[in-house]
Structure formats: structure tokens, C-alpha cells
Structure 1
Amino acid sequence: MKNLFLVIVMILLSCVILSFELNIHHLEFLRSEFKIEENRAVGYWIYSNLQPDGSYKHIGAKGEGITCVDDVARVAIFYLRQLETDPEDNFSNNRAKEALDFLLRFQRIDGDFYNFVFEDGTINKNGPTSRANANWWALRAFWAISLGAKVYSKTDPEFANALAIRAKKVLKVLESNFKNNLLKGYTDMSSIMLLGACELYRSIPEKDILKAIETLAEGIIDSLDTSHGELLGFFDEGKEEFNWHGWGSRQIEALVEAYKATANQAYLEYAKKSAEKLFPLIISAGPLYSVSRSIKRFPQIAYAAEVFVNSAARLYEVTGEELYAYYTLLLGSWFNGLNILKSPMIGPDGQGYDGLEITHRNLNSGAESTISALLALQAVKTLPENYQELFEEKKEFLTPAFFLEAEKFNLGLSEAEAENSNIASGGAFVRCKGTTALRTNLLLPKVRYQVFAVIPDFDANTVSISVRYGKEKLKAEKKLSYYGLYKLGSIVGTAVEERLSFGLNPSNGTVAIDTLVFIPSVIGIYLDTSDQTILINNSNETFSGVPRGKCALVPGKAISSGEIFQVAVSCQAVKIKQERDYFLLDLFPLYNNNGIVDANHRRKGNFDNIQGITGASYPLEEIKKNIENGFLLMKDIPFLFSDNGLDNLRTKKQCIKVGLKASELWILGSSDHGDYTGELVIKYKNGQQESFFLGLSDWCGQPKYGERSLQFDYRYDSTGNVEHLNCKLYLQHFKLKGDEIEAISLPDVVTMHIFGITLK
């Protein structure tokens, strides 16, 4: 009977959602009735955390509340947009009205809004994320009720009029906080206010609302006329120094709506000017978290991804240009796997995952993430059918952006040194005091890349910079007048790994280099199913027949990209040492991680921070208690052990030549940032092979894959302090055919670490 009920619910919901991408099941799970003072209203739980059995549990925000205006306003906007598409949609009508009713219960008599409610029904009136102060939640509520006034103006005029009255009250509160033609001087907050004002103007076209629209739009476009705006289309959010963040930055979308409301062409041109430079970066790098003195790439969140999808969709709506249709579907594709992990950011029940890191996804799924994902996919669904079909195809980056941390370069004999800093993206930058040459290897696809340096600190006036990549060279003389991004020029990739040399020489004083950034001038996304490539050409020359500033769908893989995320590694022979009847592989030539340190070197360990040069690590003192005759013993299985700086390898599909018979295999390892699995392949000399499921649990968690474990009482954290956490090494065992092994191929999962491999 229960299964029959679920089938009926699915059928009913299919009448509301246009395709599986707009799956609202998890949103419905978050929906609950809440007590608000002496009344009750329907809202949405702030958080929901993934449980070990795969289910989700409702979670409140400690000290803040259990549901909030900020999230429910997003829900109202989602369903109101559904109603705009289909005015007869009763389900969306009911959900929109109950969300709007919830919002109005938090509006004060002066028009401002509180945000959170506690579990006992008390409205949180004093918390910094809840008190009435013309803040984010008031803005989002203003946008939602203004949109409601417009949507219901034809179908329910009385309700629409009541919403418009409420919206005008909050508009007055917001206008009283104008500073330099912006709300409180910030363009991000102003963009949401502008969206609300445009919706309100469509239902009540009054002069004072038009004036607010024009004031905000002028303030926003002024913030693009900066160095960072000219370089990459960033609207300045800062006051004293440049600052921008992905989340909440709806300036492009807001300017398009201002153009629709006023017909002022300048607003549209500024929106297009930003989009031309910003969209290629966001597609190739993902929804950046923030840019200021440094670039913070992670966490990448649905809240940031969604704003760009809707911005592109609005541009397509008003221009009809194919370019913006492609931008919409590609920006939205971050949710279905066009990201650095090639993993979906929306789950099978429509849960929007809470974040993507360089190594893993946060699979918790709160209201903000879920509704942001739905708003993004809703925007994609406004595209013509042929673009929606392309959206659903599996995609592959051919031209990703690259971010190289300076502290990870080889400094050689340069007059420079790495410094730890909380303003640096990876926790450290390189301070250059004189002639400096930084070197590393880099594989760039065969397109032109724009090259930028991130300079977070300096006391020099100018700096001479040179970049060499294979046969490509560029030189730049930069006058240092602000912190952040400096454009150095452009180089063309070769699709093979080349030596990259970055040279600089300050005229006087010092210059700090945080990151080198390579952004493709041509976006290439390969569609696996249809064997086609989406090309967007932002370079100054025609590329593969596509003119500058144009886009096209071309057959096959149109760009030679080499191996971008999965570097092909030829099989490497290793030494083998026999101990009793065990054969121990010497993995030292393959080690690429320093995860074990002693107390004297504990600030140099880095087991778990792939972006930086320091991280937490295992204590050598504890591990030495398990070493006998030079071997690390785990449940009496011996492994070769190194304490010479590198002691384990992050698995990147390394191939190890073996050349001996074995019937059993043991692996000593663990994972960071979660529990991970990958394919372990044994290739035999007779041409046969075996594949195994290798699972290694989180180093400070519990064994999830049947491993045996060796536990330690503490670890060293990223600053060298002792943390009393029970971290572990895990032992996995596999039975083999007993034939002669030619090679062992490791998983392609950089969060899995292998310390040793032993055969018998």
C-alpha cells in the first residue's frame, strides 16, 4: 500500500515539474509546519544532514533558529516563477501562497523583517543573522512579495494589492539606508533590492519606484569601472579594498531586469560587458567563492552557481543571442557534473548538496542549497528544447582554468621564500625580495590562455615579470597600485606537459605572489553522447572557424586538450624487498605526500590539505611503536616505511611494475575528507586481469569497508598543535589468482592515500 501511495505521489508531482531536473521531493521533505509566536505557518528546515543509512535528518542552526525568511523567500520565488509559466498550476499556487504567508509573519510594523524563529516559536529578534536591519532577509522577502504582487495582479488582485502595500513599506526602509546610490554601499545587496524594485514597478508603475530602480542601477554599473571589472567583469563589493563573492552577486541579472523596466540600454550593455568576461571564468573554474587580495575557489556552493545561471538566462531572454543560451546550459551544468570532481551536485531526490571542495562533496542538503539548485535548473528549463537536450548530455571539460599556488613551485636559488598567511588562498604565498624564478610543470590545452598573477601584498612600486611555457614567452612591467589580480598577457597551450617558468624582479622592496591563474580564451565543452563540442570563442582571432565573440556546436573533440584531470602515467618499476615469505614494494619513487611527522617537524606535515603546503598529519612517535627491524608491522604484515619527508602517495592512477607471482595482496592506507573507494586493477603477464573494489575510510573516522585498523591517540594539526583525535591507518586484504603479476594500477582518487603494498 505504501509503494502504491508513492507511485501516486510521483504521478501527481510529474504534473508540476517539467522533467526530472526539477525534482521537488527533497524540498518537500524540508517543508514543515512551524510555530511562529502564537500562530502556525509552513516553512522549510534550514539544514538537513545525511545519515549513515542514506536518509536525511532535519537540523536547525544552533543559536539562530530552525527555519528562516531567507530560505522561504527563495521557495516563494521558485513557485511564483512556476506560476508565471503556468497560471493554472494549483500546486505551485498553494506552495507560493503559504510561503508568502510565512514571510509576512516576520514583517515588522515599520516594514523591516526578522529572519529566524526558534523551535519554541519565538522569533529571533536580536541575533546578528536575524535582527531587523535592512539586511539580506529583508531584501529577499522584498523581492518575493514584490514578485507575488506582479504574479497575482491578474488572478488574485486583492491579494496582489495587499502584497504591494507590504512591499512598499519595506522599500521605504531599504531606501533610508542608501549610501552612494547603493544599499549600505554594497552592490551585492543592491542587486537583490533592484530585482524586487523591478518586480514591484511592473505591478504599480509609480515614479518613486522608478527612481529607486535608476538609483540602484547607476550605483551598480559604477562599481564595474574598476581594475578587476575591466580584467574579469567583477563588480566591486568592497569599500576600502576590492572585494567580490559569488554568493548573492546578482548584479548582471538585476541590470537586465532594470533594462526591461526602464529601456535604458546602458544597463543591458554593462550586464553584457560583465558577462563577456565573467561567464567564461565561472564555467572553466566553477562558481568561485570570493575574490579579494586572493582568490578563494572553494567551497563552491549552489547559492553562488545559481546566480550565474539565472543571469545568463535573463540575458538570453532579452537578447535572443545563442551565446547566452549556451552560457545558461553550461553554467547550469555545474549541477549535473560539469565541475572539478565530475560529480552531480543535485541528488536523486532533488537534494541540492551543500558544497563542493577540491577533494570531495558535502552531501548534506539544506534549504538554501536545494532551492538554489532548483532555481538554477528552472532557469535552464526556460531554454528552447534543443538546448535542454544538450544540457542533459554528459560533458567533459576540454579547456579548464588552472590555479597554481606559488608556494608549490620550485623556488630554486631565488631571493624568495614561502610565508604562511591567512590572506593567501592556500594558506601561504611566496615573498619575492629580489630576482626570483619559480618553476613547475603545466599541461595547457591547445588554445590561448590569459595569464594573471594574484598579488596580495607588496611594498615595491613596480615589478618586472616574465612567463615561459615551452616555446611561449611573455613579459610584463607592472605598476603596483592595488592588491589582487594583475593581467600579464596570454600564451598558447600545447596539449603536452611543458616546463613553466615564472620570473619576477621588484624594482625595490618586496612583492608577494599567491597564485598564477590561467583562464581559457576559448571555452570547449565536449558532449560525450552526441560526439560534439560546444565552442565559445572569446579570443581575438577566429578559432576552428568560429569568429571572435561567437559560439558554435561542432562535430567531434574540437580541441586537443591532453590528459587534464587524469594524467596518464607509464608503469614504473619499483624495488622489491623480501621479508619472511612476504614481498614488500618500495613505493618511495611514487610518494607525493608528507603525512607523517615528528614533534620537531610537525609544522611541515600535510596529509590532508591538497591546496596548501601545510596540513594535519600522523605522529611519527606513535607510528614508530609499530616498527620492528625497520618494517612497519600492521597485524603482523610487514610494510616498507619512509620517514624522509615523503611517506605516502595520493592515488592518481599510478601503474606499478611488479614481475612476481602472488596469491595475496595487502594495502596500508587511509583517506582524507571522507571515506573513498576506487578501482584497483591487477594485470597479469598472461594478459588476464582482476579488478577489486578498494575502500579506504577517513583517517580520523571508523572503518567502513571491512578494514582492520591501527589507531593513534592524537595527530598534529595544520599549525603543529596536538589534537586528541583517534586517527587510524587501515589494512585491506585481497586474494589473488596466484599468477605472475605484471603490474598494479591504482585508483584515480586523490583523497585516497597508500603508505605501503605487500604481496605474498
Structure 2
Amino acid sequence: LINYHWKDYKYLLGFFSVYQDRFNWNGWGNHYAEALVEAYKVLGDNRYLSVARESLDVQVPLLLSTGLIYSIGRYVKLFPELAYALECVAVPSVKLYEITKDEKYAYYSALLAAWLYGGNRLNVRMLGENGEGYDGLEYMHYNRNAGAESTICALRTSLYATKLPSNFQDLATDPVILGRNGMKVLELEAFDPGLFSVRFLSGDFGGGAAFQIEGKARLKKEILEIPEGHYFVLLSGDLKNTTVTVSSKSQAKKEISGSGIFEIGEIEVSRTINVSVSNSCLLDQLILIPQNTGITFKMNDEVMTLYYDFNDGKTKIVDKALFLSREHSVFNTLIPKLKVLDGFTILDLRELFNNDGFAMPQKPGNFDNLGGIVGAYLPENEVSEGITRISGVPFEVVVNGNDNVRCSGQKIIFQQPINCTKIYVLAAANHGDYKVDFLINHMAYSVKINDWCNQPNAIEFDYRYIQSGERQYIKCGLSLYELDISNLNEALKEIILPREINVHIFGITLK
């Protein structure tokens, strides 16, 4: 087992590989540490205990700060986060605490178990009312199915957490997470290639897509959402005798040959990042690991931070807030242009549009895969741009470029109040149905927005395009929703869209 402890990556120490000749790690099969602890119990060989401790000291702060990484192989796959992956590190942390009495492992296990009780990226509980474990945490939603494996792993994690002292049990079941500083995965196909010759490929890549570079190239991306600081840089792709230079506030350079993930070096990151290559290659992901990976939380009303310091190679727990979440919710405000037609008022929402739901394989869209560059999408070839009447209600349908708004509390303000009694919404959701609130002059109107594949009643298609560009024959489309605001007793002044990123609005019309 120790022979599968991967040592070729300086920045991924503590990880094991399924194979000895190439690196392949899966969060859902990561039982190495527990196996080593059990081997130590039977054989008394301190090597096994030492490797288990080293492994968790690197992995746990990274997983707490990033999320329960699904797999690392040719590229990093962050989602879905699974209870299988949680149990693999939470249980051996409890066992190490019992053996060593080192409180560090009690913190590990409590903060890991907190994932089940809302201490995860989305702050949602992953245990049902009957103790069932939900199947997974995606980029911006969770899978509410509860299979046997998820339930067993969730319950095993919870049961082992009950072995901890009461204050650590409280940390697990009532977590207050203040911030995280984890791995950042940037999809290189989302970078700006400028005038360089690149080809967009979809397939088995991180994010479902990659760039095929022809000759020299320089890619650029603004990264204001990433905190400035010192990062370790890795790159995934397929390269041959290619010099790769990654630059921001400083730069790192390395010649690479091979396929998979490669360590480039260390850089200071600030605002923008550039990737230059010396010849033709395939580029998939740029992976940034901060010098200190960890999590800031409250315990007994005290603010604390647990982090791994790559410089010292040690986990540290301090009584201060090192990582605080930055609120980055988008509250765009629009004063819409209006078009009056047959007693209806059509809103022009183009300036709010942030998603490409209608597309073609030649230029793919991404209706449903918020965490990736390419997803499934509606067939642009089956719909026309312009005024479309649905049950007598006219909507302005856009099909070129961004054509809908993912909802995150955007505000629509009218230059002059409008007298109307009905608001018609053309919409669809991805990854399930969602009950949401529209705030009309600050009064909440609730409506359930159906999934795009759940009996659409307005614009229906026999198929959709999937990431590969193939047609998947499944009924899908958009539905019409009516909000009766006759009880408002005043003219319409503003509409605040729901705060649900998986709800898409394609059009709004008033009457």
C-alpha cells in the first residue's frame, strides 16, 4: 500500500494513486489512510501510522477548503462532492485522534463531519430527516436522491463523530464556517486567446472542453475573484517539448512533455493571469493551490483557522480569522427598454442575459452545467429570433449569444410606474424544479419553475444537444408562468428576480 503513496507531486503530497505508473486518485475510493491505521493497529509498524498522518495532514485542509474533490487524474474534477469521499477521511481522523490524542485530528473529523450538517460550500444539510445521506453536492445545487452508499457513508461518518468530545461534536452538528482558501481550477478554454490560432474541443476534459493550440499562443484571463497571494501552479493538457510560462505578478516557466497534470512552479497572483506556450499542444486546466490551504470557523464563539502551511509542511490551528468569504452575489440593476404590442408591454432583458441556452454544436452553449464551460443546450435551429406568441402572450425571444438570465436577485426598475395586473414569465430551471419568489414592489409572489425536461408548456423540443454535440432525444423546453398582481393595488415600480441560480428567465411581458 505504501508503494502507491504518490511522491512525484511536490504540491499534492499525501495523495495515493490507483496505479504505480501514473497518477490517478479518486475521492470516493480514498480509504488508504484508514487502511494504514488499521495495519498499524495489527502490526505495530510506526511507518504505517506516520504515512497515514502525513496523508491526512495535507489532504484534510485541502478538502475542507476546496470541497470534497471527486477525482484527480489527467485533470481535476471537483464535482460532485460525495459522502463516500467524506467518510474516507473523516473516519480515519477519528481513529488517529483515539490513538494519538492529538486534538488536530478531532478538528479534522469534526469539520469534515460538518459537511453533512451544512458546513459545506452551499451551506445545505446533506442528511435527510430520516438519517438518509443525499447523493452529492454539485457546483450550485445538491442531489436530493439518497442511495444506499451515500446513506451508509453519511451514517458511518456521523457515528464516528459521536466518539469525539462534546465540544467537537457541537462543531460538527452546528457549524459556523466563515471562510475558505482552497484550490482554484481555471478552465483554459475560458481564457482569451486573442488572435492566436486555437480550436475549441469538447469531450473528456475538465469542464467538458479544452483548447487545441496551433503554434505559439498566449492566453489571458481576468481573475478578480481569486485572492491575491502566493500560489503553486499546475497545468493539465497534452504537450510535447513545450515551454509553458504562467505569469501574473510574477512568473514560472517549465518545459513539458506528456499528458496529464504537470507542476509548473510558484507565482504571485494578482488580478490577471497569462499562459504562454512555445508550440502546438492541447491545454485543459490551470490549477492554483494557495500557500496556505484551510478554513476559518467559529467554535465556542471563538474565531479559529485551521490551515496547512506548505512552507513548513505542517497543519496549524490559530485563534484568528485568516480566511473570510467575500460576498460576490451579483445584483445587476436594469432599467429596461419597453415595447408595447396589442395591449402587452414586452421587456427587453438583453443587458441582464448571462447564459447561452440556445446554441448549435458549431458554437456550443451551456444551459445546465454551471461549473463547466460546455453543457447541454436547446436547439437554436428549431426557434426563430424575435417576437413569439405563446398562448396569445408576445415575448421577445433571443437566440444569438446570451439569451437568458440565470437568476441571482437582479433588479428591474421601471423609469415610470406601469399600470398592469399580470406579469408573464418565460422560464425553465435546470437540475430539478424550484419554488422561488419574485419580489414585486417588495411583495413576494411564489411560483414553481419546472425543470426544462419536465413537461414544458410553452416552447417544446423533441431533443436537446449534449456536450459532445450529439442530439439527445428527450422532451425539453420552456414554460409560461403567470403572476397575478391585481392585489398589488399600485402601479408596478420594480421586479426583483429570484435568488436561485438554476432558474433561467428568457422573457418577461406585462399586461
What is the TM-score of this pair, normalised by structure 1?
Answer: 0.62
Selected match of 2:276 from 467, 483, 504:
504
Kindly indicate whether residue 379 of structure 2 is the aligned counterpart of residue 597 of structure 1.
no
For 2:94 and 2:10, locate their aligned partners in 1 and report how far apart those are by CA, in whole Å.
Answer: 21
For 2:144 and 2:324, locate their aligned partners in 1 and report how far apart those are by CA, in whole Å.
Answer: 34
For 1:758 and 1:318, locate their aligned partners in 2 and report how far apart those are by CA, in whole Å.
Answer: 65
Q: Is the Cα contact below 8 Å between 2:244 and 2:275 reproduced in 1?
A: no
Kindly indicate whether residue 406 of structure 2 is the aligned counterpart of residue 610 of structure 1.
no
- Give 2:108's aligned residue: 327
Q: Is the Cα contact below 8 Å between 1:460 and 1:511 reproduced in 2?
A: no
Q: Is the Cα contact below 8 Å between 1:603 and 1:720 reproduced in 2?
A: no
Give CA deviations for 1:308-348 in whole Å, capped at 9, x if unaligned: 11122122222222222111111112212223332222110
Q: Which runs of 5 or more structure 1 residues have no equivalent in the other structure?
A: 1-219, 493-497
Selected match of 1:524 from 295, 309, 313:
295
For 1:710 and 1:431, locate their aligned partners in 2 and report how far apart those are by CA, in whole Å.
Answer: 36
Kindly indicate whether residue 123 of structure 2 is the aligned counterpart of residue 372 of structure 1.
no
CA-CA distance at 1:619 after TM superposition: 2.8
Relative to structure 1, the CA distance from residue 551 to residue 691 in structure 2 (aligned partners, 3 Å threshold; closer, same or farther) is same
CA-CA distance at 1:461 after TM superposition: 4.4
Kindly indicate whether residue 364 of structure 2 is the aligned counterpart of residue 587 of structure 1.
no
Alignment of 1:220-619 (within 5 A): 220-228=1-9, 231-396=12-177, 398-401=179-182, 402-422=184-204, 424-432=205-213, 433-445=215-227, 448=229, 450-466=231-247, 468=248, 473-480=249-256, 483-486=260-263, 488-489=265-266, 491=268, 499-506=271-278, 508-519=279-290, 521-527=292-298, 532-539=302-309, 549-554=315-320, 559-563=323-327, 566-597=328-359, 604-619=364-379
Secondary structure of 1:231's aligned partner:
coil
For 2:261 and 2:477, locate their aligned partners in 1 and report how far apart those are by CA, in whole Å.
Answer: 40
Relative to structure 1, the CA distance from residue 409 to residue 541 in structure 2 (aligned partners, 3 Å threshold; closer, same or farther) is same
For 1:520 and 1:574, locate their aligned partners in 2 and report how far apart those are by CA, in whole Å.
Answer: 45
Q: What's the RMSD between the two structures over aligned residues?
A: 2.8
Give CA deviations for 1:49-76 in whole Å, capped at 9, x if unaligned: xxxxxxxxxxxxxxxxxxxxxxxxxxxx
Q: Is the Cα contact below 8 Å between 1:346 and 1:352 reproduced in 2?
A: yes
Relative to structure 1, the CA distance from residue 397 to residue 578 in structure 2 (aligned partners, 3 Å threshold; closer, same or farther) is farther
- Give 1:642's aligned residue: 398
- Give 1:178's aligned residue: none
Give CA deviations for 1:438-482 in whole Å, capped at 9, x if unaligned: 213331357x5634333131112432221x2xxxx1311224255
For 2:30 and 2:380, locate their aligned partners in 1 and report how far apart those are by CA, in whole Å.
Answer: 46
For 1:459 and 1:282, locate their aligned partners in 2 and report how far apart those are by CA, in whole Å.
Answer: 32
The residue type paired with residue 452 of structure 2 is W
Q: Is the Cα contact below 8 Å between 1:283 and 1:330 reproduced in 2?
A: yes
For 2:157 and 2:142, locate their aligned partners in 1 and report how far apart those are by CA, in whole Å.
Answer: 19
For 1:346 and 1:536, locate their aligned partners in 2 and report how far apart those are by CA, in whole Å.
Answer: 25
Higher strand share: 2
Relative to structure 1, the CA distance from residue 649 to residue 553 in structure 2 (aligned partners, 3 Å threshold; closer, same or farther) is same
CA-CA distance at 1:372 after TM superposition: 0.8
For 1:511 and 1:715, locate their aligned partners in 2 and report how far apart those are by CA, in whole Å.
Answer: 28
Secondary structure of 1:459's aligned partner:
strand
Relative to structure 1, the CA distance from residue 485 to residue 348 in structure 2 (aligned partners, 3 Å threshold; closer, same or farther) is farther
- Give 2:429's aligned residue: 671
CA-CA distance at 1:265 after TM superposition: 2.8
Secondary structure of 2:132's aligned partner:
coil
- Give 2:504's aligned residue: 753
- Give 2:475's aligned residue: 726
Q: Is the Cα contact below 8 Å between 2:180 and 2:324 reproduced in 1?
A: no
For 1:744 and 1:283, locate their aligned partners in 2 and report how far apart those are by CA, in whole Å.
Answer: 38
For 1:717 and 1:419, locate their aligned partners in 2 and report how far apart those are by CA, in whole Å.
Answer: 14
Relative to structure 1, the CA distance from residue 550 to residue 718 in structure 2 (aligned partners, 3 Å threshold; closer, same or farther) is closer
Secondary structure of 1:371's aligned partner:
helix
Secondary structure of 2:271's aligned partner:
strand
Secondary structure of 2:186's aligned partner:
strand
CA-CA distance at 1:491 after TM superposition: 4.1
The residue type paired with residue 374 of structure 2 is T
- Give 1:73's aligned residue: none
The residue type paired with residue 463 of structure 2 is Y
- Give 2:414's aligned residue: 658
Kindly indicate whether residue 468 of structure 2 is the aligned counterpart of residue 696 of structure 1.
no
The residue type paired with residue 611 of structure 1 is G
For 2:113 and 2:80, locate their aligned partners in 1 and report how far apart those are by CA, in whole Å.
Answer: 17
Q: Is the Cα contact below 8 Å between 1:229 and 1:236 reproduced in 2?
A: no
State the identity as a percent.
33
For 2:4 and 2:378, locate their aligned partners in 1 and report how far apart those are by CA, in whole Å.
Answer: 47
Relative to structure 1, the CA distance from residue 568 to residue 644 in structure 2 (aligned partners, 3 Å threshold; closer, same or farther) is closer
Relative to structure 1, the CA distance from residue 758 to residue 372 in structure 2 (aligned partners, 3 Å threshold; closer, same or farther) is same
Q: Is the Cα contact below 8 Å between 2:29 and 2:88 reproduced in 1?
A: yes
Q: Is the Cα contact below 8 Å between 1:675 and 1:695 reproduced in 2?
A: yes
Q: Which runs of 5 or more structure 2 residues have no equivalent in the other structure?
A: none
Alignment of 1:141-152 (within 5 A): none
For 2:387 and 2:202, locate their aligned partners in 1 and report how far apart those are by CA, in whole Å.
Answer: 35
For 1:487 and 1:252, locate their aligned partners in 2 and report how far apart those are by CA, in whole Å.
Answer: 28
Give CA deviations for 1:121-179 in whole Å, capped at 9, x if unaligned: xxxxxxxxxxxxxxxxxxxxxxxxxxxxxxxxxxxxxxxxxxxxxxxxxxxxxxxxxxx
Which deviates more from structure 2 when the two are superposed, residues 392-401 or residues 320-329? 392-401
What is the TM-score of this pair, normalised by structure 2?
Answer: 0.89
CA-CA distance at 1:236 after TM superposition: 1.7
Which deviates more from structure 2 when the two are superposed, residues 220-229 or residues 730-739? 220-229
The residue type paired with residue 614 of structure 1 is V
The residue type paired with residue 499 of structure 2 is D
Q: Is the Cα contact below 8 Å between 1:231 and 1:487 reproduced in 2?
A: no
The residue type paired with residue 443 of structure 1 is E
The residue type paired with residue 316 of structure 2 is K
Higher helix share: 1
Kindly indicate whether residue 466 of structure 2 is the aligned counterpart of residue 717 of structure 1.
yes
Count, aligned residues = 504
CA-CA distance at 1:275 after TM superposition: 1.6
Q: Is the Cα contact below 8 Å between 1:524 and 1:533 reproduced in 2?
A: no
For 1:572 and 1:532, locate their aligned partners in 2 and report how far apart those are by CA, in whole Å.
Answer: 42
Relative to structure 1, the CA distance from residue 480 to residue 558 in structure 2 (aligned partners, 3 Å threshold; closer, same or farther) is closer
Q: Is the Cα contact below 8 Å between 2:185 and 2:285 reproduced in 1?
A: no
Q: Is the Cα contact below 8 Å between 1:595 and 1:648 reproduced in 2?
A: yes
Q: Is the Cα contact below 8 Å between 1:416 and 1:436 reproduced in 2?
A: no
The residue type paired with residue 720 of structure 1 is G
Alignment of 1:80-95 (within 5 A): none
